[in-house]
Amino acid sequence: MQFQFANQGLAWSDAYFLAQGLLNTVRLAAAATLVGTLAGIVLGWLRTVSVTVRIATAPIIDILRSVPMIIQLILANSLLSILGFGASPFWFGTVALGAWMSAVTAEVVRAGLLSVPVQYRKSARSLGMNGYQELLYISIPLAFRTALAPWIGLVLSLIKDSALAGVVGYIEYMRSTQILITRTHETWLLLMGAGLFYFLICYPVSRYSRHLERKVRV
Amino acid sequence: MIRISNVQKAFGSAIVLKGIDLTVEKGELVCLIGASGSGKSTLLQCINGLEPIQGGEILVDGISVHDPKTDINKLRQKLGIVFQQYNAFPHLTALENVALAPRVVAKRSRAEARALAQKNLEHVGLGDKGDSLPSQLSGGQQQRLAIARALAMQPSYMLFDEVTSALDPELVGEVLETMRLLKSEGMTMVVVTHDINFARESADRVAFLCQGEVCEIGTAEEVIDHPRKEQTQKFLRREQRKPLEIVRSSVA
How would you classify the pairing of strands B55-60 and B2-11?
antiparallel
Domain residues for the domain of B41 are: 2-88+157-250
**Kindly report the CA angle at B155 between B154 and B158, in degrees rounded to 5?**
130
How large is the ipTM? Answer: 0.86
Q: What is the pLDDT of residues B197-209, one digit of tens each?
A: 999 999 999 999 9
Q: What is the pLDDT of residues B47-74, one digit of tens each?
A: 999 999 999 999 999 999 999 999 999 9
Find the chain B residues whose C-beta atoms sit closer than 8 A to any C-beta of A.
Answer: 48, 50, 73-74, 76-77, 79-81, 83, 85, 87, 89-91, 100-101, 104-106, 133, 135, 146, 149-150, 153
Q: Which domain CATH number covers B201?
A: 3.40.50.300
* pLDDT score at B3: 95
User: Which CATH code is given to the segment(s) A12-216?
Assistant: 1.10.3720.10
Find all residues with CB under 8 Å of B162, minimum gap 6, and list them: B40, B41, B84, B192, B193, B194, B251
Which residues on A lie below 8 Å from B150 (Cβ)?
Answer: 126-127
**Domain limits, chain A:** 12-216
* pLDDT score at B240: 74
A70, A167 Cβ separation under 8 angstroms: yes
- pTM assigned to the model: 0.81
Report yes or no: A121 at the B interface, CB cutoff 8 Å.
Answer: no
B50 → closest Cβ in A126, A141, A216: A126
**Number of domains present in the structure of chain B:** 1
B232, B223 Cβ separation under 8 angstroms: yes
**Kindly report the CA angle at A82 between A78 and A88, in degrees rounded to 5?**
65
Average pLDDT, chain B: 91
- State how far residue A169 is from chain B, nearest Cα, in angstroms: 46
B36, B235 Cβ separation under 8 angstroms: no
* pLDDT score at B238: 86
CB atoms within 10 A of CB A118: 9
pLDDT tens digits in sequence order for chain A, 218 residues long: 566 655 577 888 888 898 999 999 999 999 999 999 999 999 999 999 999 999 999 999 999 999 998 998 898 888 888 888 777 889 889 999 999 999 999 999 999 999 999 999 999 999 999 999 999 999 999 999 889 989 999 999 999 899 998 888 888 899 999 999 988 888 899 999 899 989 998 999 889 888 888 887 76
**Kindly report the CA angle at B242 between B221 and B147, in degrees rounded to 5?**
70
The reply to whether residue B87 touches residue A123, judged by beta carbons under 8 angstroms, is: yes
Residue B99: inside a domain: no
| Ranges of chain B whose pLDDT falls below 50 | 252
What 3 state SS string does chain A have?
Answer: CCCCCCCCCCCHHHHHHHHHHHHHHHHHHHHHHHHHHHHHHHHHHHHHHCHHHHHHHHHHHHHHHHCCHHHHHHHHHHHHHHCCCCCCHHHHHHHHHHHHHHHHHHHHHHHHHHCCCHHHHHHHHHCCCCHHHHHHHHHHHHHHHHHHHHHHHHHHHHHHHHHHHHHHCCCCHHHHHHHHHHHHCCHHHHHHHHHHHHHHHHHHHHHHHHHHHHHHCC
* pLDDT score at A56: 94
Residue B189: inside a domain: yes
Residue B135: inside a domain: no
Q: Over the range A33-67, which residues count as b (16 or more CB within 10 Å of their CB) and which as e?
A: bebbbebbbebbbbbbeeeeeeeebeeebeebeee
How would you classify the pairing of strands B63-64 and B157-161?
unpaired
Find all residues with CB under 8 Å of A80, minimum gap 6, and list them: A91, A92, A95
Dihedral-angle region of residue B56 (phi above 0 means left; psi in -120 to 50 means alpha; beta otherwise): left
